[in-house]
Amino acid sequence: MMAPFSHILILACLLFLMGAACAVARRNLIMILVGVEVMLNAAALAFVAASLRWQHLDGQAFVIFIFTVAAAEVAVGLALIVHAQRHTGSVMADDYSQLKG
Amino acid sequence: MTLAGIIFYVLGIIILAATTLAITRRNPMHAIVYLVVSFFGMAPLFYLLGAPLLALLEIIIYAGAIMVLFIFIVMMLRIEATPRSQSRWFRQWFPAVGLSAISGLVMIVLIWQEPSQQAVLPLAMAGPREFGLFVFRRYWFAVEIASLLLLVALVGAFYLGRKGADPEGKS
């Protein structure tokens, strides 16, 4: 016997909103990516809890694909940050004010 | 309350505290280390929810690979802590925290008032063997697409990060 399903959903919901607030409020590009990671992890937690609640393995299978998407997104995102830092010399989102490539 | 229940609430408090610290640090390196703590708390939670393979993958992929990638980039670019600025701080955080507090309140009320969600979860475990068989029988096509996505991400990261790229962007 474990906690009620609603408590796990509330934990996932709080984590997701923390990640969303981080991605919206921070100006450092690294911290924006960190916020996206927290959001993906919260979604994974909700999937695993639902998989236990309805005794289906589909929820756990989807978490594998969430992990894949997170890894791919971080690889491309960090490469973009390195690229942008080489162009402008900064990782702050406020400093990217030029349209010229 | 049973032992599993107590472990769940302790882990939940650890995860929430570590994530709160992670998203508020001004130094990205500190934030990433707190995030690793949060992921290490999430892994036993996955185990408790009956997914031992996912608990291991959480540590290997998230805490091991992705966070080390973040640390590499922070060290490579020599990113300093964000300078403290009072007016900006308020302007940045007030809308974000306000909007997430409102949507969080709505979500919690919606989850709470649904009586069918109050069912206490049983303890069950899906072993790695049956889970792997399930994924490769039922979702074999999605596994192929995921591998293609990783290949595309690899090529994209290599293209964006290559050394010979013209700094003027004329290449």
Question: Is A30 among the domain residues?
Answer: yes
Question: Is B39 among the domain residues?
Answer: yes
Per-residue pLDDT averaged across A19-48, rounded?
A: 92
| Residue-number span of the structural domain to which A73 is assigned | 5-90
pLDDT digits (tens, 9 = 90+) for B48-70: 988 899 999 999 998 889 999 99
| Residue-number span of the structural domain to which B149 is assigned | 126-163
pLDDT tier, B171 (very low <50, low <70, confident <90, very high otherwise)? very low
Q: Do B15 and A11 touch (CB under 8 A)?
A: yes
Give the pLDDT score at B151. 95
User: A74 to chain B: which residues are within 8 Å by CB?
Assistant: 66, 69-70
Q: How many domains does chain A have?
A: 1
Chain A residue nearest residue B152, CA to CA? A72
Question: Is B86 among the domain residues?
Answer: no
Q: Tell me the pTM.
A: 0.89
Phi-psi map region of B78: left, alpha, beta (phi>0 left; psi -120 to 50 alpha): left
What span, in angstroms and rounded, lies between the C-alpha atoms of B73 and B62?
16
pLDDT tier, B46 (very low <50, low <70, confident <90, very high otherwise)? very high
Question: Is A75 among the domain residues?
Answer: yes
Chain B residue nearest residue A42, CA to CA? B42
Residue B66: CATH number of its domain = 1.20.120.1200
Q: Do B23 and A87 touch (CB under 8 A)?
A: no
Question: Is A95 among the domain residues?
Answer: no
Q: What is the mean pLDDT of chain B?
A: 85
Give the pLDDT score at A71. 92
Q: How many residues does chain B have?
A: 171
Question: Is B42 among the domain residues?
Answer: yes
Do B7 and B70 belong together in one domain? Answer: yes
Q: How far are the Cα atoms of A33, A54, A74, B34, B65 from residue B84, in angstroms, in the given order?
A: 20, 47, 27, 20, 31
Give the pLDDT score at B164. 62
Give the pLDDT score at B166. 55
> Does residue B93 register a pLDDT over 90?
no
Let me know: does A71 contact B150? Beta carbons within 8 Å: yes
pLDDT tier, B162 (very low <50, low <70, confident <90, very high otherwise)? confident
Q: Do A2 and B104 touch (CB under 8 A)?
A: no
Question: Is B155 among the domain residues?
Answer: yes
Give the pLDDT score at B165. 54
Question: Is B48 among the domain residues?
Answer: yes
The ipTM assigned to this model is 0.88
Do B3 and B72 belong together in one domain? Answer: yes
Closest Cα in chain B, distance from residue A31 (Å): 7
Say which residue the tokens 């911290």 belong to.
A31
Question: Is A97 among the domain residues?
Answer: no
Q: What is the mean pLDDT of chain A?
A: 88
Per-residue pLDDT averaged across B157-161, rounded?
A: 87
Do B5 and B76 belong together in one domain? Answer: yes
User: A51 to chain B: which residues are within 8 Å by CB?
Assistant: 49-51
Q: Do A58 and B31 touch (CB under 8 A)?
A: no
Name the token pair of A22: 């981080």
Paired residues of A28 in beta bridges: A92
Per-residue pLDDT averaged across A19-29, rounded?
A: 89
Cα–chain-centroid distance for residue A63?
13
Mention every residue, 6+ apart, whose C-beta is less than 8 A from residue A26: A32, A35, B23, B82, B92
Let me know: does B128 contact B57? Beta carbons within 8 Å: no
pLDDT digits (tens, 9 = 90+) for A51-76: 988 888 899 999 999 999 999 999 99
Question: Is A98 among the domain residues?
Answer: no
Question: Is A73 among the domain residues?
Answer: yes
Q: How many domains does chain B have?
A: 2
Question: Is B11 among the domain residues?
Answer: yes
Residue A78: CATH number of its domain = 1.10.287.3510
Per-residue pLDDT averaged across B136-157, rounded?
A: 93
Higher-confidence residue of A47 and B2: namely: A47
DSSP structure string for A3-58: -BHHHHHHHHHHHHHHHHHHHHH--BHHHHHHHHHHHHHHHHHHHHHHHHHTT-SH
Give the pLDDT score at A1. 57
Question: Is B105 among the domain residues?
Answer: no
